[in-house]
Structure 1
Amino acid sequence: MRRTAVLGSAGTLLAGALIAGAVAAPSATADGRHHDNSAAYGAKIAAERAAKKGIAWQECPADWGIAKGIQCGWVSVPLDYTKPNGKQIKLAVDRIGNTGTAKERQGALIYNPGGPGGSGMAFPARVVNKNAIWASAAKAYDFVGFDPRGVGHSAPISCIDPQEYVKAPKLDPRPGSEADKRAQRKLAAEYADGCKERSGWMLPHMTTPNTARDLDVIRAGLGEKKLNYLGVSYGTYLGAVYGTLFPSHVRRMVVDSVVNPSKEKIWYQANLDQDVAFEGRFADWMTWVAKNDAVFHIGKTKAQVAAEYETLRAAAKKAPFGGVVGPNELDVLFQGAAYYDSSWVPTADVWSKFREGDTQALVDAAGPDLSNTAGNISAENGNAVYTAVECADAKWPTSWQKWDRDNTRLNRDYPFLTWGNAWLNLPCATWGVKQQTPVTVKTGKGLPPVLIAQSTRDAATPYAGAVELHKRFKGSRLITEQDAGSHGITNLVNPCINGKVEAYLLKGTLDRHDATCGPHATPVP
C-alpha cells in the first residue's frame, strides 16, 4: 500500500472475451438497477462494448509528461456497474508496443503500482528507458499503464484544495494530550466532509471490485481475450479481487509485495499490522546507519541513531526547520527509508548534512512540494483516492474508543508510525458513505497459477499477506526474498527473482515448489 500525508498525520503508502459462463440478464427494477449478479452483468456489457469499440491510440497530451513513443487513449466504463447504460467515466490508458517480432508477441501486460491512488502511466517508460530487468518481457508484451478510476486523468477526485493540502502545516502525529487527539479527530472529520462535498458523486463507486471490473473492460478494449497483469502493493489486492471475480480471464498474473486479502484484514487491521512491520524495518535502517557511522556520523549503535532521531523530532516540533518541516514532515521523509532500500542512502545523507549545518537539504527533501499541486496528478489526488477506496471497500470501526484503545496499545512498542497511520485512516470512521463488505478472495474455475513475490521484512505489506494469498490461490507459487525488506521487489536487481519472473511471463514456467531467494544487494553509502 502506498501512503501519503493527510492533514495532521504522518503519511506512509500503483478481443472482448466475456465473463466465463454467460451471465443471464437479471430482472431490472423501475430505476434501471439489476438484482442479483447485476454488477457482473454490467461488467459483461461494458466489456462487450469496449471490445467492439477498441481504443483510439494517439500521441499523448504534451502536458501529461509521457515520453515520446508511448501512445495514449481512453476507455469508457460505467460509474455504477449495476447501471451499465447509465453515467460513464473515461479512464486514461497508455501503451508501448512489444519490442520483439510479431511472432514473439504474447499480448499486453497491464500494470498497477499500488496505492490505492497510484498511477500506472509510467510503466511503458520502462521500455523507453531500457530497463534491463524488463527487456526480455518487453520483447513479448506491450507494456500498458492506466490511471484507475478517480486517479490522475481518470475522473479525478479531490477532498481538499491541492494547494492547501500541500502547504497547510501538519500537526505532530504523536499526541501529547487528549486535546491533541481532539484536534486530530476534528481534522479527520473535516477531511471526510471535504471528500463528500467535493467528490460525493464518485465515493460510493470507489471500490476495489469496481476497479477490477474496470481492469476487465480495459482488457477487452485492448482486444485481449486474457489478462496478463503485474500488480505491486495495493495492486496485489486489485489482482486478487480480479482473479476472484474473473478467474477464467487470467493468463499470467504476477503479484509483488502482497496486501493480506483476508476479509478480517481489509482495511482496519491491515493498517495496524503495518505499524508493527514499519517499526521493524525502520530499525533495520537505523542499524545500517550505525554500521556506516564512518560515513554519516549520526551514531555508532542503533540505539544511538534512534535517540538522535527523537532529538531531531523534538527540535522540529519546537521550531519547524525552514518554517515548514516539523515532526510530521520528518516522519514522512524517514518513512521512505522503511519502505524502499533505494531511500536508505539519500535519507541518511540528508540527515548527515543537516547535522553538519546544511538545513536547506532537509527542507528541500521534507518540505512541501509546491509543484505537486497542479493539474490532475497531485499528492492531494493520491491521498483522496487512497482514503476513498479504503473507506469504501470495508466497514470501519465508528467508535473512537476502539481506535484510541488499539492505537494507544500499539504505540507503546511501535511508536514510529502508529498514530500517524491512525490519523491518516480516521476519516473512515465518519465517512458517511455506504461501506461495502470485502470480496472473499479465492480460487475460481479457470484461474491459472499465479506468481507471488515477497520480501520477509516488507513494512507496508507484511510477509503474512503473501502467505495468505498463496493459500487462497490454489496452484500459486511463492518466491520469498529472505532477509530483505524493500517494498516492490520485482523491479530490483536480484537474478534469482528476476529469472523466475521472466520464465513465468515468457514461458508460463513455474518452479515445482515455492522458492526462496537470497536478498538483493544492501545499499552502499
Structure 2
Amino acid sequence: MATSRLFRTTSAAIAAAALLMSGCSSGSSSSGSEASQGHATAGPGRTAPSGSPALAPLPDATPANLRPYYDQKLSWHPCGEAGFECATMKAPLDYAKPSADTDLKLAVARKKATGPGSRIGSLLVNPGGPGGSAIEYLQQYAPQPAAVRARYDMVAIDPRGVGRSEPVRCLANKQMDRFTQTDQTPDDSAEVDKLTTAYRDFAKGCETRSGKVLPHVSTIEAARDMDVLRQVLGDKKLTYVGASYGTFLGATYAGLYPTHTGRLVLDGAMNPELDSRTINVNQTAGFDTAFKAFAADCIKQRDCPLGTKSIEDAGEQLSALFKKLDAHPATTGEARPLTESLATTGVIAAMYDEQAWPILREYLAQAKDGNGRGLLTLSDSYYERSPDGSYANQMFANPAVNCLDLPPAFASPDQVRAALPGFRKASPVFGDNFAWAALNCAYWPVKATGEAHRIEAKGAAPIVVVGTTRDPATPYTWAKGLAAQLSSATLLTYEGDGHTAYGRGSDCIDTAINTYLLEGTTPPKNKTCR
C-alpha cells in the first residue's frame, strides 16, 4: 500500500525503472513550550485571514542551554564518493529540555566548492520525503549544476529519524512485504478490518523499535537542526535548495529564522496552511491530472495498453485491470505476486516523471497479459525495496513525520466511507486508494503536535518558490499558496508534467534558479517557463 502523503521527486535517470524518489508533507510539530519550540502560534495581529495561525519566529539570540550545540566543531573525514566528506553533528533530542544524555547524532556530508570563482558559502540540499536521505541525494545532486558546485560547498544533513541520522524503523523486511500487499481498497468489513490491523501493527512496530525518537522527528525540530548546522558551518545565512517536502522544511526554517534566511529555492512547493484531509484530496486530484496527461499521450501510441479511444476509456481500462488483479494477482517470477495494491503503487510511481511513461505502457501491457514483474519493479522502486528484500528507512520515517506534523485526516473507517465520494470525484481511478491510505495516522502511537498554519517569514531575504502546472504530488495551487504567504517570495512557474522542475531538463528554469543562487537576482514577477 502506498504510504499516505508520501510526495516523491524523481531523478532524471530512470534506467531499469530505478525511480529515485522522495516526497513531501505539510504541517509542523513541536514538543515542550510553544516559545521554546517555535510552535505555530497566533499572537497579537498574527491571525491569518483564513483563521489559521502564523508560525512565530524564534528569538535571534541563542539560548544559553543550546550554545554547546551551536559552538560544536565537526570532525570531517573522507567518505563515499571521491571528494565527499562526512561528519556527525550533535543535536538535542528535545529542544525544550536539551541533555547530553539523550543527544541525537545526525549525519552530515559535504563536497567543497571546486572553483573557479570565489566561494559564496554552503548550499544545503534536501530531497523531501519526509524521509528521503539528503546525503544520498547530495551524492547525485552535487555534480550538477557545475556553475553552482564551483561556488558553493554542497552540504546535506539527514534529518532526525532519516537515513543515517538515528533512523526510524518499524517492520522487518518480510513484515513490510506483507504490509505493502495489504488491500487498500477494501470491498467489505472483513477487508477493512485487515487494513486497520495492518495500520495498527505498523504503528506498534514503530513504537517498539523507535519509541525514543518518535515524539521528536517533527519538521520544526528538523528545521532547528538546520540552524545549528548553519552556525557550525560558519555561515551567517542559510542557502538552501529543497524539493517537494523539502520546501516545507525550508519554508519552516524561514518562518523560524527569517533573519538567518539567505537564498532559498523551494521546488515542488507545499502549502502549510492545508489540513491533512485537504492535502490528501488535493494530491488525489493531482495524480488524476497526471494520469490524464499520461493517458492523453498513451492513446496516441499504437502500443497503448489502455486503448486508443479516449482518456476516460483509458481510465476505465486501468480501473478494470486493478479490479482483475484484486481478484487474481498476476505472477511475477517470485514469491510475491502483483496484487492490486502493488500494481496501483507501481502506476503511481510512474506518474512522477513523464520519462517513465514508455516504461509504464510496457509494464501495463505485460500486466494485462498476466505478467506482473514490471509493475512490481516500479512498486519496489517506490518503496525503496532492494533486490535482496531489504527496505530503506524512508517508508518508516515518512509516517513518523507526517503523523506528528498534522492531526490525522480520518479517525475511523466510517469517516473514510463518508469521504469516498469526494475522493472519487477527485480521481475515479485512484480515489478509493488515496482515501483509505489517509487513515494510517489514526492509529499512530504519538499524538500529533503540529497544526495547519501560515508561514510569512517577515524580514527574510527574497525566496524563490517553484511550481509545475501538472505536478501530481504537489499540485500547482500549493506553490501559489506558499508564494502568497511568504512575505518575500517570487513564484517561478514551469508549465509541464512531472514532480518538481529544477534540474529536469528546462533550461529556462535552471537558468533562472542558477542566476538566483549565484547572483541573488530573483526571476521576474510571474515568470513562466515552458
TM-score between the two structures when normalised by the length of structure 1? 0.84
Aligned position for 1:97: 112
Task: Please give the alpha-carbon distance, in whole angstroms, between the structure 1 residues aligned to 2:127 and 2:246.
Answer: 6
Aligned position for 1:426: 439
- Whether the 8 Å CA contact 1:395–1:437 is kept in 2: the answer is yes
Task: Please give the alpha-carbon distance, in whole angstroms, between the structure 2 residues aligned to 1:476 and 1:106.
Answer: 22
Task: Please give the alpha-carbon distance, in whole angstroms, between the structure 2 residues aligned to 1:411 and 1:353.
Answer: 27
Q: 1:175 to 1:234 in 2, by over 3 A?
A: same
Task: Please give the alpha-carbon distance, in whole angstroms, between the structure 2 residues aligned to 1:162 and 1:304.
Answer: 38
1:114-165 deviation per Cα after TM superposition (whole angstroms, max 9, x unaligned): 111111113333466x43xx11111111111221110111011112223320
Whether 1:300 and 2:298 are equivalent positions in the alignment is no
- Of 260, 263, 270, which aligns to 1:259? 270
Aligned position for 2:253: 242
SS at match of 1:339: coil
- Of 505, 516, 520, which aligns to 2:528? 516
Aligned position for 2:19: none
- Aligned-pair RMSD on alpha carbons? 2.7
SS at match of 1:258: coil
SS at match of 2:497: coil
Return the letter of the residue paired with 1:93.
V
**Structure 1 residue 402 displacement after superposition:** 2.6
Identity across the alignment (%): 29
Pairing 1:71-90 to 2, within 5 Å after superposition: 71-86=85-100, 87-90=102-105
- Whether the 8 Å CA contact 2:129–2:398 is kept in 1: the answer is yes
SS at match of 1:311: helix
Task: Please give the alpha-carbon distance, in whole angstroms, between the structure 1 residues aligned to 2:368 and 2:68.
Answer: 60
Structure 1's unaligned 5+ residue stretches are: 15-32, 61-65, 519-525
Whether 1:166 and 2:185 are equivalent positions in the alignment is no
Task: Please give the alpha-carbon distance, in whole angstroms, between the structure 2 residues aligned to 1:199 and 1:500.
Answer: 42
Q: Which has the larger displacement, 357-366 or 270-279?
A: 357-366
Q: 1:450 to 1:44 in 2, by over 3 A?
A: farther
Structure 2's unaligned 5+ residue stretches are: 10-30, 38-57
- Of 207, 213, 219, which aligns to 1:208? 219
Q: 1:58 to 1:291 in 2, by over 3 A?
A: same
Task: Please give the alpha-carbon distance, in whole angstroms, between the structure 2 residues aligned to 1:372 and 1:450.
Answer: 42
Return the letter of the residue paired with 2:320.
T
Q: Which has the larger displacement, 295-304 or 149-158?
A: 295-304
1:157-195 deviation per Cα after TM superposition (whole angstroms, max 9, x unaligned): 112223320355613322222332232122222222222
Pairing 1:117-516 to 2, within 5 Å after superposition: 117-126=131-140, 130-131=143-144, 134-168=145-179, 170-262=181-273, 265-292=274-301, 294-296=302-304, 298-301=306-309, 302-322=311-331, 323-354=336-367, 360-366=373-379, 369-371=385-387, 374=390, 378-379=391-392, 381-396=393-408, 397-412=410-425, 414-438=427-451, 440-482=453-495, 484-516=496-528
Q: Which has the larger displacement, 117-126 or 248-257?
A: 117-126
Task: Please give the alpha-carbon distance, in whole angstroms, between the structure 1 residues aligned to 2:314 and 2:172.
Answer: 37
1:484-523 deviation per Cα after TM superposition (whole angstroms, max 9, x unaligned): 13111112111111111011000000234221111xxxxx
Aligned position for 1:5: 2
**Structure 1 residue 423 displacement after superposition:** 3.6
Q: 1:461 to 1:318 in 2, by over 3 A?
A: same
Aligned position for 1:115: 129
TM-score between the two structures when normalised by the length of structure 2? 0.83
Aligned position for 1:24: none
**Structure 1 residue 255 displacement after superposition:** 0.2
Task: Please give the alpha-carbon distance, in whole angstroms, between the structure 1 residues aligned to 2:296 and 2:366.
Answer: 19
Return the letter of the residue paired with 1:177.
D
Task: Please give the alpha-carbon distance, in whole angstroms, between the structure 2 residues aligned to 1:190 and 1:471.
Answer: 40
SS at match of 1:123: helix
Task: Please give the alpha-carbon distance, in whole angstroms, between the structure 2 residues aligned to 1:79 and 1:462.
Answer: 33
Task: Please give the alpha-carbon distance, in whole angstroms, between the structure 1 residues aligned to 2:502 and 2:290.
Answer: 19
Return the letter of the residue paired with 1:436.
T
Q: 1:303 to 1:348 in 2, by over 3 A?
A: same
Q: Which has the larger displacement, 451-460 or 300-309?
A: 300-309
1:291-317 deviation per Cα after TM superposition (whole angstroms, max 9, x unaligned): 12x244542133443333233323322
1:38-57 deviation per Cα after TM superposition (whole angstroms, max 9, x unaligned): 23589755764344322211
Return the letter of the residue paired with 1:200.
G
SS at match of 1:255: strand
**Structure 1 residue 411 displacement after superposition:** 2.2
- Whether the 8 Å CA contact 2:66–2:98 is kept in 1: the answer is no
Task: Please give the alpha-carbon distance, in whole angstroms, between the structure 2 residues aligned to 1:107 and 1:11.
Answer: 31
Task: Please give the alpha-carbon distance, in whole angstroms, between the structure 1 residues aligned to 2:181 and 2:507.
Answer: 42
Q: Which has the larger displacement, 244-253 or 509-518?
A: 509-518
1:317-348 deviation per Cα after TM superposition (whole angstroms, max 9, x unaligned): 23322252111111111112222223222212
SS at match of 2:94: coil
- Whether the 8 Å CA contact 1:10–1:329 is kept in 2: the answer is no
